Amino acid sequence: MSTLSHWRIRRAALLATIGLVSVGAHAQSWTLALSWKAGSCDENNGTTTCIAQAAQSVPARGADTDAGAPPPMLKAIALRTDRVDCDATALADESLPADLERYVSSTSGNSLQQRWSRYGSCSGYTPAGYFTEIAAMARAVGRTTLGQYLEQHAGKRVPLDELKDAQLHDFFFGADKAIQFYCAPDGRLAEVRYTLRDWSDMFVYRDRGSLLVPTRGGNCGEEVML
C-alpha cells in the first residue's frame, strides 16, 4: 500500500471518529426507553404509571443473532431528551428501515408518527436515521449480559437486586450512563431505561465492560416478574 493511500485511510478513520464524538457530545441527558414484552409507561405530573403484558413461561434462549431467531422481547420505544415536538412532518413509509418491526415496539403508523414528532424530530436525525439508530441500540442491548438474562428468565420472578447485578459488567463505558427498571403495579417488568450523555462508543461490543450504575428512580419492588 502506498504512503498516500495509507494516509487517506487514516484521515477517513479520524474524521469518522470525530463525527461520532461530535454526535455523542451533542447528545446531552438522553433516555433510551426499551419495552419488555410490549410493556409501556406514561408520565403524568411526576408519576410514572406502567402497564405490562401477562407473564408467560418462555423457553430459555440465547442472544438474538439472526433474522431466523424468535423476535426479541426487549424492543426500543424511543431515544429522547427534554426537548420535544420539534417537527410534525408526516413520515414516509419508504424512509423507514426494513427490520423496524423486529427491534422497535408498537410499529403502527400512528405510534411511529407520534414518537417521531414527539422525540425523533428533536434528535438531529432523519426519520430513517432515528429509527435505524434505536433499532440498533435495542439489538445491541439484547446481546448484553442483561439482555440475555432477561430472555433466559422470561416468565419467572426474580429479585430486583439480581436483575441489577446482571448488567454490572456489560460493555458500557463511563460514569454518564445509568439504568432504571419500571414495573406495572403487579410487579411485572414494563420498561428498561438507560440514561446517557454520550453513546458514541456505547454500543460497540467489548469482551470486558465497566460498571453501569443503577440510579435512583424506577418503581419496581424487591421482586420483578419477567
The model's pLDDT over 38-94, given as tens digits with 9 standing for 90+, comes to: 999 998 887 899 998 764 444 444 445 555 677 899 999 999 988 899 988 888 877
Is residue 68 a contact partner of residue 16, using CB atoms and an 8 Å limit? no
Alpha carbon 107 to its chain centroid, in Å, reads: 15
pLDDT tens-digit profile of 124-176?
889 999 999 899 889 988 888 889 999 999 999 999 999 888 877 665 455 45
Residues 6+ apart with CB under 8 A from 128: 95, 96, 97
Distances 182 to 28, 48, 150, 158, 209 between C-alpha atoms, Å: 22, 8, 14, 14, 24
Using the predicted structure, report yes or no on whether residue 210 has a pLDDT greater than 50: no
Instruction: Go through the domains of the chain in sequence order and give each one's CATH number.
Output: 28-225 (3.90.730.10)
Residues 6+ apart with CB under 8 A from 66: none
